[in-house]
Structure 1
Amino acid sequence: MFLNDVPRFYRRRLIELDMCIINVSPCDAHGNYSMGPSIKTVLGAVETAKCLIGQINPLTPFTYGDSLVHESRFQYLVPHSMPMHTLPLPTAGVEEATIGKLIAENLVADGSTLQMGIGSIPDIVLSLLHSHKDLGIHTEMFSDGIIDLCESGVITNAHKKLYQGFIVSSFILGSERVFSFVDKNSNLVMKDVQWTNAPENIALNPKVVAINSCIEVSLAGHVASGSIGPRIYSGFGGQLDFLRGAAMGTDGRGKPILAITSTTTKGQSKIVPELAAYAGIVTPSDHTHYVVTEYGIAQLFGRNQRQRAYELIQVAHPKFRERLEKAAFEQLHCMPSPD
């Protein structure tokens, strides 16, 4: 299931909603309330619920686009003041910094359209793009790292094909600074994930660079992102939506990127012969293009099994490479080779 499918559950009434409660900003002069920092999957519920209740929160930033809901749609409006949920800026180690530099210097060109997932590596990449020109943003998540590039003129959205001149996002996550930045910011257009995450929409923009993180990568190229074995680590997100959209880029210059440190905090390899038992595959091998660790960039697209294994072993931690080569021979019945 893709994240962009979730709003369809509501719009096709596969789930019948009696009631939907949303957090909104105070209304504007036209009677429009704003859902503020998050549309994501909620808009379909707002459109179809039998009873819509709005909690008017004066601390909610007012955003534009599909986040606007007219007062006539609500059955009830109640005051409810509470601070926005904030996240501290992610911290990064030497490995994450190295990965960020590899991506920024080798995979992001001037005029690229960026999508950044959550985590320290995407923020590091953003911090290293100040010498780039005319970048654009079409993303599921808008975070702090984008702000400085907007204020310095690096992000202009000048070359985008969809909403040229505007940032497009579906939800905002970060510090108080990011909520202040998006409040009444007419350069930001909020859309729901059925639109932002539709691969056919993503593909229309130029040089799409989609940067997402993951938990494990198998030598076959399968990627686990949502669970550690059977233990759920996070809900499913838009990773595959954007990796596919970048790969489908109509200009043929998209870069679908998965960023991962080579080892866990306990020193175990994240590049493994096979994914842990019961781990959910978020990105299957057919959709895995670039895998970046602190040891380099593996390019898997169009490679056969032995070539994929070879590419991944080259970016694994050196102390695990011999073990991985042996596993490839014994379990995948191939000898890792660049040819």
Structure 2
Amino acid sequence: MAFRRIPCCISRNATLTRERIYCKNAARTYYTYSPEPFHPLPNRAPVWRTADEAVTVIKSHDKVFVHGAAATPIPLLEAMAKHGLKSGVKHVEVMHIHTEGEAIYSRPEYEGVFRSNSLFIGPNVRSAVNEGRADFIPIFLSEIPLLFRRNLVQLDVALISVSPPDKHGFCTLGPSVDCTRAAVQNAKVIIGLINPNMPRTFGDTAIHISHFDMMVEGDNELQAHEAPTLSEEEKRIGMHIAGNLVPDGATLQMGIGSIPDAVLAQLTHHRDLGVHTEMFSDKVMELVVNGCVTNAHKTIYTGKMVSSFVIGSPKLYKFLHNNPFVALLDVAYVNHTATIMQNPKVTAINSCIEVDFTGQVVSDSIGERMYSGVGGQVDFIRGAALGHDGLGKPIIAMPSTTAKGASKIVATLKPGAGVVTTRGHVHYIVTEYGIAHVFGKNLRQRAYELIRIAHPSHREELEKAAFERLKCMPSP
């Protein structure tokens, strides 16, 4: 490996037990305010182990935090799964936001050994959650760190990926800070997978190697997301938003997927855009390369893009490496409404599953079936609405129909559907048929605006349903 190991006073052949780690760490009494694993600790270094050796510290009933998104420490998870079956541990709780790759611990054969507890549901645990073999915590992304910092959840072990240490001994969290820094501050045992493929990043990413209890050498490629192919409907949504709702100098928030990419693809002639978002992907990088993103007018981190995590292609990870133009920060700060609202012309672009006539937005479930999570949608919808300059635009965008042709604009939500963004939060709703501005409008006006942007084949039945629900005709 290219990185330099720091010597440790414990020999490689020594038996490593939880008690030995606690003694060595003095229960982390060197932490004062909001334990911060940044400063170098004199005469302290991690124990180097293989992945199989390191995870043996995990015991029955432990709470284990797993670094997510592109930084998912897959070799540690594979080792943990083997350890679970071999050692006979029971009821280990695995906490995480969405992770990449296969979530081995959520397979049916691991029931009773591991139980996933998602803070945001990814595709790899969705079946387990809906089959009752895994759990889900509905929570705003901005508030996840509070679980750890207020000791509402006490973590026993944190499994994280980091870039190799520099000459001063500092590693970084690579493309994913999100809630991981708070988890590391809280965990009793920190196991780091040092991966030379992890980009070295700036912001709240640095952790000195002396704060790790164990280090494992890795060399796995980061999980990548290639850009989706855009449908004609999505392209029209992108044109509506870019052409009518995004001014020059806007501060952008967007997620990953087809609709955010459709909007970003239409912004190539915009100027002086800023980025303050919970995450971004390749299309944002392309706007930077084309000179569209300068961050020149931002109030928060002027001149820099701000995010809490990044996921995309290998090209994007190369763009991140040693790039001071990008600041990856703690999601409690990035997604805090009081932070967001200080930036100019905040334009928050989020997607959803369905919307009813009154403006209730369903984003985390399809009826009773859990699909994703609360995430940061409300954080940014509210931050854009309350922008100090009064020019923010909170936007919900979606195709007018599902893949099966059902209307996504409905009279009443499906039984069990979860409202993430309330009717009081909604300002703009966009489909391929146009823009509905519903802020300040009453129920019959909202129904009128939403039916106007519904698919034409559903408008007549929606009008009838609206009359039955509201006892009056939708009206402008």
Q: TM-score range by the shorter chain?
A: over 0.9
| Structure 2 contact 194–217 (Cα < 8 Å) conserved | yes
Aligned counterpart, 1:297: 435
- Show the 5 A alignment for 1:297-316: 297-316=435-454
| Structure 1 contact 37–179 (Cα < 8 Å) conserved | yes
1:219 matched to 2:349: no
| Structure 1 contact 230–279 (Cα < 8 Å) conserved | yes
Worse-matched range after superposition: 238-247 or 227-236 = 227-236
Give the deviation of 1:169 after TM superposition.
Answer: 0.6
Distance (Å, rounded) in 2 between the aligned partners of 1:266 and 1:19: 44
Aligned counterpart, 2:114: none
Give the deviation of 1:112 after TM superposition.
Answer: 0.3
- Show the 5 A alignment for 1:19-168: 19-168=157-306
Distance (Å, rounded) in 2 between the aligned partners of 1:16 and 1:121: 37
Distance (Å, rounded) in 2 between the aligned partners of 1:27 and 1:223: 44
1:196-218 C-alpha deviation (Å, 9 max, x unpaired)? 11111100000000101111000
| Structure 1 contact 290–299 (Cα < 8 Å) conserved | yes
Distance (Å, rounded) in 2 between the aligned partners of 1:21 and 1:102: 43
Aligned counterpart, 1:182: 320
Give the deviation of 1:183 after TM superposition.
Answer: 0.9
2:424 partner SS: helix
1:27 partner SS: coil
1:318 matched to 2:456: yes
Distance (Å, rounded) in 1 between the aligned partners of 2:166 and 2:448: 58
Aligned counterpart, 1:260: 398
Distance (Å, rounded) in 1 between the aligned partners of 2:338 and 2:470: 34
Distance (Å, rounded) in 1 between the aligned partners of 2:229 and 2:308: 24
Q: Which amino acid aligns with 2:221?
A: P
Give the deviation of 1:335 after TM superposition.
Answer: 2.0
Give the deviation of 1:334 after TM superposition.
Answer: 3.4
Distance (Å, rounded) in 2 between the aligned partners of 1:281 and 1:321: 23
Give the deviation of 1:41 after TM superposition.
Answer: 1.4
| Structure 1 contact 305–334 (Cα < 8 Å) conserved | no
Q: Which amino acid aligns with 2:290?
A: S
Aligned counterpart, 2:124: none
Aligned counterpart, 1:277: 415
Aligned counterpart, 1:17: 155
RMSD: 0.9
Give the deviation of 1:29 after TM superposition.
Answer: 2.0
Give the deviation of 1:239 after TM superposition.
Answer: 0.8
Task: Name stretches of at least 5 consecutive residues in structure 2 with no aligned partner.
Answer: 1-138
Give TM-score, length-normalised by structure 1.
Answer: 0.98
Aligned counterpart, 1:244: 382
Distance (Å, rounded) in 1 between the aligned partners of 2:286 and 2:313: 14
Give the deviation of 1:116 after TM superposition.
Answer: 0.8
| Structure 1 contact 118–213 (Cα < 8 Å) conserved | no
Distance (Å, rounded) in 2 between the aligned partners of 1:68 and 1:328: 54
| Structure 1 contact 24–55 (Cα < 8 Å) conserved | yes
1:20 partner SS: strand
Give the deviation of 1:254 after TM superposition.
Answer: 0.3
**Bigger RCO of structures 1 and 2 (CA < 8 A, at least 6 apart):** 1
1:264 partner SS: coil
Give the deviation of 1:121 after TM superposition.
Answer: 1.4
Aligned counterpart, 1:327: 465
Q: Which amino acid aligns with 1:285?
A: R
Distance (Å, rounded) in 1 between the aligned partners of 2:335 and 2:349: 14
2:399 partner SS: coil
Q: Which amino acid aligns with 1:219?
A: F
Aligned counterpart, 1:8: 146
Give TM-score, length-normalised by structure 2.
Answer: 0.70
1:185-235 C-alpha deviation (Å, 9 max, x unpaired)? 111101121111111110000000010111100011001111111111213
Distance (Å, rounded) in 2 between the aligned partners of 1:332 and 1:80: 60
| Structure 2 contact 162–198 (Cα < 8 Å) conserved | yes
Larger Rg: 2
1:324 partner SS: helix
1:66-120 C-alpha deviation (Å, 9 max, x unpaired)? 0111112111111122110111211111100000000000000010000111211
| Structure 1 contact 262–315 (Cα < 8 Å) conserved | yes
